[in-house]
Amino acid sequence: MSLEEYMGELKGQIRDKNARILVSDEIYAHIEEQADSYQKDGMDREEALSKAVEEMGDPVSVGADLDRIHRPHMEWRYLIFILFISVLSILVQYLITKNIDSESVTGSILGDLSRRHLVGIMAGIIAMLLVYRADYTILIGRSRLIGGIFIVIVTILTATLGYRINGMSGWVSIGSVSFSMRALMLLYLPLFAGILYELRGGGRWGIAQIIFWMILPALSTFITGDLSAPFTLLILLSETILVFIAVHKDWYGINRKIVYGGFETVFALMITAGAVFIYRLNGYQSARIANWLAHFGIGNRITDDNGINYVNAQLGKAFASSAIIGKSEEAVDIMSNTPGFGSDYVVGSVAAICGLLAVAAIIICMLALAIYMVRISVSQKNRLGFIVGCACGITIAIQSISNILIVFGLLPMTSSVLPIFTSRISFCIVDYMLIGLVLSIYRYKDIRRDRFQQTIRNEGNRELVV
């Protein structure tokens, strides 16, 4: 059997076209290497190729075995865990709807809360499955282009169509559908991870470009007037962690300590400058900082026109009144008069209705999900899959941790959500897309190569892979 016939038979057994390319390249290279060895022993070219092909074995059997190895995979334990958390979140929102009096919250139609959450979960799962089926390696060689287009589109939409809902800016309506641009901006983080991969080996110039891509989201919010210091810091913190991971892997060939020290200094200065700037302001921004510092015994609590002190106090009372297990009527009454009980501060509602142990269980579930996502990503041989998956896990982790710390008064009061459990549909969809991206990375773990391939045509119209 000739080499061409053998390869044709073998490739016919492999169902995935990307795996077919990968496997055929590997087998072809192996046969050529073996044939070269026989030629060195004195065989002619045709005889050497024929013997190398014969030693590979039956092409149908070999192809079937390779098809089992190099095929898309589903991480079923991860998927089952996600579905478990999804069902748990639906139950939580149902209990909130059932137990908290809707009329006690001005302008809230609580009857729509659990249904809105269910819509978010169903839309999110659909988005997750669509992303799972997509090929994340589209980012190879295109991350900066896609990232730039993404930022431009988000900036234009926010600047031209953006408006505020319940005091939160950055909302855009297309027809009857409203979507949070802040939620959408979270999708920039896996794109930024792709940019880090793309700039490998760039040295100091690569780091300079990375800094530019890091500050783009902040520039976008500044241009549109939707500058939220806490959200901007969340994005910058996530990006900084990703940079540290890439530098730790020695992707840029420069001194790690210098990079670590530089980014740590810049980030600390930005936090300090932001805190001083906000503290000097009048109104709710300064109230948030003042009440946060007062929580640690620094200064006095103040009340602003938006009731920041009121929300802090309500959450503190709700947790103090909650039972270890089961419902506390007093805590439920408190949460009934607390804005955001089904979205930003859903953890407080869980404490009131189900008890503090239920809060602990939800916190453990969300942290376990983030760790699981990072663990799947770290195990990838493909470095693009590794860094993009880490970006997704870090995003879920930082959202969860910041929301929990805010609710417990350990961070300044601001709008935040607990992934999956929130009633904000936009954030539900985006978080499920991040989860789906990790599923896609796992799906192609034995198929995608860790090298950039580019096809060019020479003068003889032959295809060369370089």
Bridge partners, residue 463, by sequence: 457
Task: Work out how many domains the chain is built from and give that number.
Answer: 2
* Closest listed residue to residue 249, CA positions, set 418, 88, 378: 378
pLDDT at position 81 is 93
Shared domain for 314 and 411, answered yes or no, is yes
Q: Are 403 and 68 in contact (CB under 8 A)?
A: no
**Among 398, 395, 438, 327, CA closest to 95:** 327
| 7 and 123 co-located in one domain | no
Q: Are residues 441 and 388 in the same domain?
A: yes
Measure CA 374 to chain center. Answer: 10
Q: Tokens standing for 63?
A: 């192809």
Question: Can you give the pLDDT at residue 113?
Answer: 74
Query: Same structural domain for residues 8 and 64?
Result: yes
Distance CA 345, CA 384 (A): 35
Listed residue (29, 21, 16) closest to 56, CA to CA: 29
Same domain, 442 and 380: yes
Q: Residue 256's pLDDT is what?
A: 74
User: Do 406 and 432 reside in the same domain of the chain?
Assistant: yes
Which distant-in-sequence residues (6+ apart) come within 8 Å of 211 by Cβ?
A: none
Q: CA 203, CA 1: separation in Å to the nearest integer?
A: 50
Tell me if 74 sits within 8 A of 88, measured CB to CB: no
* Burial (Cβ within 10 Å: 0-12, 13-18, ≥19) of residue 71: middle
- Asked which of 54, 71, 88 is the last residue of a domain, the reply is 71
Rounded-to-integer distance, Cα 130 and Cα 133, Å = 5
Distance CA 349, CA 337 (A): 11
On whether residue 122 sits in a domain, the answer given is: yes
Residue 175, domain member (yes or no):
no
Q: d(Cα 356, Cα 444) in Å, to the nearest integer?
A: 40
Q: What is the pTM of this model?
A: 0.77
Residue 53 to residue 434: CA distance in whole angstroms: 44
Residue 9 lies in a domain: yes
Question: Along the 466 residues of the chain, how does pLDDT read in single tens digits?
Answer: 677 788 887 777 666 666 666 677 778 788 888 888 888 877 888 888 888 888 887 777 777 766 666 566 667 888 899 999 999 999 999 898 888 765 444 444 444 678 888 989 999 999 999 999 888 888 888 899 999 999 999 988 888 887 776 656 677 876 666 788 888 999 999 999 999 999 988 888 888 899 899 989 888 887 876 656 678 888 988 998 999 899 888 888 777 777 777 767 766 766 666 555 555 554 555 555 566 556 655 555 555 444 456 677 788 888 889 999 989 999 998 888 887 788 888 999 999 999 999 999 999 999 999 999 999 888 887 888 899 999 999 999 999 999 998 888 777 767 788 999 988 889 999 999 999 999 988 887 655 555 433 332 233 333 323 2
**Is residue 394 a part of any domain in this protein?**
yes
368 and 447 together in one domain: yes
- Cβ(283)–Cβ(237) under 8 Å? no
pLDDT of residue 29: 80
Instruction: Please report the pLDDT score of residue 239 as a whole number.
Output: 92
Please check whether residue 367 lies inside any domain of the structure.
Answer: yes
Query: Is 7 in the same domain as 106?
Result: no
Q: What is the spatial distance between Cα 134 and Cα 326, in angstroms, rounded to a whole number?
A: 43
Domain closes at, from 36, 56, 71 = 71
Rounded to a whole number, what is the largest CA-CA distance in the chain?
Answer: 91
Residues 106, 128 within the same domain: yes
Q: Does residue 428 belong to any structural domain of this protein?
A: yes
* Tally of CB atoms within 10 A around 320: 12
Is residue 107 included in any domain, yes or no?
A: yes
pLDDT (0 to 100) of residue 62: 76
Given 56, 71, 86, the domain boundary residue is 71
Q: Specify the amino acid at residue 386.
A: F
Strand partners, 457: 463
Residues 19 and 121 in one domain: no
- The angle subtended at Cα 404 by Cα 232 and Cα 217, nearest 5°, is 10
Write out the residue range of the structural domain in which residue 113 sits: 75-134+304-466
| Residue for token pair 């241009």 | 223
Q: Could you tell me what percentage of the chain is helix, strand and coil, using 3-state DSSP and rounding each to the nearest 5?
A: 70, 5, 25
Same domain, 385 and 447: yes
Residue 74's Cβ-count burial label (10 Å; 0-12, 13-18, 19+) is exposed
Is residue 457 domain-resident?
Answer: yes
- 10 with 116, same domain? no
